Amino acid sequence: MTAEPAGEGRPGERLQKVLARCGVGSRRVCEELIEAGRVRVNGAVALLGQRIDAERDRVEVDGHALGTASGSVYYLLNKPGGVVTTAADPQGRPTAVALVPRLPRVFPVGRLDADTEGLLLLTNDGGLAHRLTHPSFGVEKEYLAEVQGVPSPHALRRLRQGVELEDGRTAPARVGRVGDRGLRITIHEGRNRQVRRMCEAVGHPVLRLVRTRIGPLADRDLTPGQWRPLAVSEVRALERATGGRPQDGAGRAGGGGRGPGGGDLAPR
């Protein structure tokens, strides 16, 4: 196969947008990678502005495939605070990619801001990453938020019904109390810093935020900084949650990063 030329005529999404959503880097970083000739689509050097089908096209970054069914690996990481979820950081901050095996190269699925802790999926399966992050697939992400002040019933109702933000009104969320200042919030949109902005909009800024679930994936025993490969059953559950077809043999990465002791993702 050969890469389609750039332009508006081809259906699909812009390559830099897909790369950014899969955690390769910010949109600007992805544009720079494309301009430097470090990205290939179906074997041909990619062009800036090129549109691709994230489910079908083969994308490579620096020679590492993103989105291959064969040889795909899947890691679940409990990201500590202070770690960024881009593959590289110009400020030199620690990255989530550095906490898992270096090869085969993987990318974070979506992004957690540096201050947010909790579960993060890293994989080289670009098709699954696309479905997990695109809002049209409606995959839930659950967070525990410790907030400033005690949220009133009115504040909780606003969060449940949708909050007006600068980039539009949020979809309805599931919200429940955890103690006086804790909230369990489940969303499926995944906008930038969405939970933090929602809570701030109702007058209760977030003091600590932890993601505890990605679709069917949860693991309360994984301590901060630890990772493990997904079981085959977990990969298949993710595929079902996104409407995709499970891959035979997926999730057979060897090794694991689980250390001694158990973890509790609930806010302190």
Answer yes or no: is 81 within a domain.
Answer: no
Residue 108 within any structural domain of the chain: no
Q: Of 66, 90, 106, which residue constitutes the final position of a domain?
A: 66
- Choosing from 113, 115, 167, 221, which is the catalytic residue? 113
Listed residue (14, 11, 72, 7) closest to 39, CA to CA:
14
Residue 88 lies inside a defined structural domain of this protein: no
Beta carbons within 8 Å of 225's beta carbon, 6+ residues apart: 78, 80, 99, 257
124/60 Cα distance (integer angstroms) = 10
Average pLDDT of the residues of the chain: 84
Boundaries of domain holding 150: 140-214
The pTM assigned to this predicted structure is: 0.72
**Who has greater pLDDT, 69 or 227?**
227
Q: Is residue 167 annotated as part of the catalytic site, yes or no?
A: no
User: With 70 as the cut, is the pLDDT of residue 246 above it?
Assistant: no
* Each residue's pLDDT tens digit, 5-53: 444 456 788 898 888 776 677 788 889 999 999 999 998 999 998 998 8
If you average pLDDT over each of 23-27, 127-131, 210-214, which comes out highest?
Answer: 210-214
Q: What is the pLDDT of residues 149-198, one digit of tens each?
A: 999 999 999 999 999 999 999 999 999 999 989 999 999 987 889 999 99
CATH number at residue 203: 3.30.70.1560
Task: Determine, yes or no, domain membership for 30.
Answer: yes
CATH of the domain at 40: 3.10.290.10
